[in-house]
Structure 1
Amino acid sequence: MQTLTADAFVRRDRPPPLGADEIHLCSMEFAPGTMPRAVADAARATLDRLLRDYAGTDRTLEIARGAHGKPYAPADTGLDFNLSHAGHHVLLAFARGQELGVDLERDERRLSLLEIARRFFAADEADALERLPAHARLPCFLQLWTRKEAVLKALGQGLNFGLDRLAFAVGADGEVGALQRIADEAGPVAQWRLCPLQPAPGLVGALAWRGAARSLQSFTLAA
């Protein structure tokens, strides 16, 4: 799937109603230097408001967490959501009857990319990273990391599942391609959908779900 960039996000005060075959992806950008706690509090307030809107209620929906920390709303089990934040940016994803995961990372220098890849990624992915010129390693690493995280969050497993238990194709140019394999309990590779994201300069992200293709609607909300 083609990378979803900043120009695909439509500015709205509130998203429209969520269709049964849709996924809504909402981006929020806070002023640089905003304290992490302030970002987290504002993101939670927006999540509460959107859950009320989508559920059609004035009552705040309780948010609980699954065995591996994935949030859900017990009062409306047909409404699925996930969120991620990086610095002063936040992404929130919503769907009906479809577990999904989203991950967002900042494009920052990381000194031990190969060490991390050797420890946590599949061996062929780490090999592909090592063959790249130094300047191409960070973009490739972040593409791999965010895709893997999004899949594991959609599974409700998080890092406990193991980043090495799914692997993506990596081209000679460092571009990450399709999901090539995944552990049997996560379902067939062909069932997985991945959407790479670049909601703002300096950010890399991914949205993942296992199921039929859906219409993806993307919005920028006021922070």
Structure 2
Amino acid sequence: MRSTDADAFLPLPAPPLLDREAIHVWIHDTGETRPRAVRDAARATLDRLLGGYAGDDRAPVIETGAHGKPFAPALPWLDFNLSHAGPYVAIAFARGQPLGIDIEPLDRRVAVDGVAARFFGAAETAALDRIEPGARQPAFLRLWTHKEAVLKALGDGLGFGLDRIEFDLADDGHVARLGRLAAEAGHPSDWQLRPFEPVPGVVGCLAWRGAPRVVQPLRLVS
């Protein structure tokens, strides 16, 4: 899902057809830096896209589930999820397929050792410890986006437990595979994971539990 010359810059309300074999991932640079302004811009972007998929100039009402995952009751056929990092917003859409997306800036400062020891599985923490210090933070952030994307696809949020979803890491710090997860979340082979870099310096992951689909990256023009 790296940006390519085929990425679309489309006016709305006319997003491309979203069929049952596809997932659309929209990336938008809001141009904002203040956290509240970014959140407001993310919501405006979501409203604009939902209206486009619904074929209606009016944005549908958005509600949240028990664990905070947003949904549009008027569009039961459309699943979506969003994340923002710095000025960037990522929003994923699919028909009849719950999904989760997360993006993180690589320059985000994190106390990697402390957070991993407290919230991650023992094997993940040990794998991070083996990575040379300069690559440890990017490895942690890639791993974090994978965990968050799965949690958001499940709809349970962080309350599900970060340590109940474990990934295997390659020696270079990239995520190799989903190794283990709690039984109620299915088998690792049930899951599709698509790491991506929407822009230089930002990493992300898209996750869903189901059959493979074609992921189409798109960009929204302000």
- What's the TM-score once normalised by structure 1's chain length? 0.93
Match of residue 30 from structure 2? 30
Gapped runs of 5+ residues in structure 1? Answer: none
Match of residue 21 from structure 2? 21
Match of residue 6 from structure 1? 3
Please give the per-residue CA displacement for 1:55-114, whole angstroms capped at 9, x wherever unaligned.
233442110000000000111111100000001000010001000000011112535101
Does 161-170 or 101-110 show the bigger shift? 101-110
Report the Cα offset of residue 6 of structure 1: 2.9
For 1:76 and 1:43, locate their aligned partners in 2 and report how far apart those are by CA, in whole Å.
Answer: 19
RMSD, aligned CA: 1.5
Quick check: 1:100–1:155 contact (8 Å CA) kept in 2? yes
Does 81-90 or 100-109 show the bigger shift? 100-109
Report the Cα offset of residue 11 of structure 1: 2.5
For 1:153 and 1:9, locate their aligned partners in 2 and report how far apart those are by CA, in whole Å.
Answer: 25
For 2:57 and 2:205, locate their aligned partners in 1 and report how far apart those are by CA, in whole Å.
Answer: 31
3-state SS of paired residue (1:5): coil
Alignment of 1:98-113 (within 5 A): 98-108=97-107, 110-113=109-112
Which amino acid in 1 is paired with 2:3? A
Report the Cα offset of residue 132 of structure 1: 1.1
Quick check: 2:23–2:214 contact (8 Å CA) kept in 1? yes
Match of residue 157 from structure 2? 158
Which amino acid in 2 is paired with 1:133? E
For 1:111 and 1:21, locate their aligned partners in 2 and report how far apart those are by CA, in whole Å.
Answer: 37
Alignment of 1:54-65 (within 5 A): 54-65=53-64
Count residues with an aligned counterpart.
219
Report the Cα offset of residue 194 of structure 1: 0.3
Quick check: 1:55–1:79 contact (8 Å CA) kept in 2? no
Quick check: 2:110–2:137 contact (8 Å CA) kept in 1? no
Which amino acid in 1 is paired with 2:8? V
Match of residue 170 from structure 1? 169
Which amino acid in 2 is paired with 1:145? W
Please give the per-residue CA displacement for 1:16-73, whole angstroms capped at 9, x wherever unaligned.
1211221000000133x53222222222122112112212334421100000000001
Please give the per-residue CA displacement for 1:185-213, whole angstroms capped at 9, x wherever unaligned.
00111110000010011101100000011
Percent of residue pairs bearing the same amino acid type: 54
For 1:174 and 1:43, locate their aligned partners in 2 and report how far apart those are by CA, in whole Å.
Answer: 30
Please give the per-residue CA displacement for 1:136-164, whole angstroms capped at 9, x wherever unaligned.
10111011100000000000011000111
Quick check: 1:168–1:179 contact (8 Å CA) kept in 2? yes
Alignment of 1:37-186 (within 5 A): 37-108=36-107, 110-186=109-185
3-state SS of paired residue (1:6): coil
3-state SS of paired residue (2:126): helix
Which amino acid in 1 is paired with 2:16? P
Quick check: 2:30–2:41 contact (8 Å CA) kept in 1? no
For 1:79 and 1:123, locate their aligned partners in 2 and report how far apart those are by CA, in whole Å.
Answer: 37
